[in-house]
Amino acid sequence: MRIAAVTGSASGIGAAVRRRLERDGLRVVGVDLRGAEVVADLATTAGRAAAVAGVLAASGARLDALVACAGLGPHVERWPTIVAVNHFGATSVLAGLRDALAKGERPAAVAIASNSATLPYADGPLAAACLAGDEAEASRLALASDGHTAYAGSKLALARWVRREAPAWARAGIRLNAVAPGPVRTPLLEAGLAHPLYGPAIRDFPVPTGGPGSPDDVAAAVAFLLGPEAAFCAGSVLFVDGGTDAMLRADRF
């Protein structure tokens, strides 16, 4: 049986990805703060190491698929934690499990980025610090900014990390891609909508197809990128956002 690991597997998009992969016949090793085979906090260095070690132990150090889904929204008040989970947690798990993927059958990995990564304020010193691997500086910059900047910057850095790493991963036989969702009806989105500052901004974010998507919409895109029909996709960032990115950046792709 093929084996997949999914971070953030206990709720939202991660839970939908888990259900989809299990429906497709994979055994899933989940990673989350609770309610998963591997319980670990990706906001910390020790938690990331525990996540990698736990997945290796549960999978026999061999994976066929990996989805880095765990993430925090802009409403989380401790802004450095957003960066710690969204970028450093994701990239640490991806890098830490690369060798296990190299032993798998048609191995592929997907990171969950965001269409917020294309917003103008995402591309700045915070994203640059993330890509330089300087977590202390990225944390400092996040603390001095706001939730929107921390979220968008960390997701931009994650998408760029995927793009930069994908060619080398492909040469090693592993396809690495990303999905960039727009607003999706999850507990994370609901918490953001309830926030007095960030709620109105989230509501005003235009979605041409008419409103938030479902976790299953994103899970379907992830399943495609992990599957054989996406064999020629490497370093792709697939927008699953109801047309928002196309509307805002029609001439940039």
Q: What average pLDDT does range 24-33 have in this prediction?
A: 98
Angle at 181 (CA atoms; ends 177, 185), nearest 5 degrees? 140
Could you tell me the residue ranges of all domains in the chain? 3-240
**Residue 107 confidence (pLDDT):** 98
pLDDT at 182: 93
Among 64, 76, 107, 151, the active-site one is: 151
pLDDT for the residue numbered 253: 77
CATH of 3-240, one of 2.60.120.340, 3.40.50.720, 3.90.1150.10, 3.40.50.300: 3.40.50.720
CA atoms within 13 A on the CB side of 195: 19
d(CA 47, CA 42): 5
Look at residue 189 and tell me whether its pLDDT is greater than 80: no
Residue labelled with tokens 């103008």: 120
* Residue 134 tokens, joined: 């300087």
Residue 91 pLDDT: 98
- Tokens 């591997």 label which residue? 38
The answer on pLDDT for 202 being more than 80 is: no
Positive or negative torsion for Cα 207, 209, 215, 220: negative
32 pLDDT higher than 80: yes
CA distance to 82, 116, 137, 196, 211, per residue, from 143 (Å): 10, 19, 10, 19, 31
Average pLDDT, the chain: 94
Average pLDDT, integer, range 38-53? 98
Q: What is the pLDDT of residue 205?
A: 73
201 band by pLDDT with thresholds 50, 70 and 90: low
pLDDT value at position 16? Answer: 97
Average pLDDT over residues 17-32: 98
Q: Say if residue 132 is exposed, middle or buried (CB neighbours under 10 Å; 0-12, 13-18, 19+).
A: exposed
What pLDDT, on a 0 to 100 scale, did the predictor assign at position 76?
86
Q: For position 211, what pLDDT does the model report?
A: 81
φ, ψ of residue 160 in degrees (nearest 5): -70, -35
Query: Is 151 one of the catalytic residues?
Result: yes
Please give the residue that has the higher pLDDT: either 196 or 66: 66
| Percent of the chain residues past pLDDT 90, beyond the cut | 86
Q: What is the 3-state secondary structure (H, E, C) of the chain?
A: CCEEEEECCCCHHHHHHHHHHHHCCCEEEEEECCCCCEECCCCCHHHHHHHHHHHHHHHCCCCCEEEECCCCCCCCCCHHHHHHHHHHHHHHHHHHCHHHHHCCCCCEEEEECCHHHHCHHHCCHHHHHHHCCCHHHHHHHHHCCCHHHHHHHHHHHHHHHHHHHHHHHHHCCCEEEEEEECCECCHHHHHHHCCCCHHHHHHHCCCCCCCCECHHHHHHHHHHHHCHHHCCCCCCEEEECCCHHHHHCCCCC
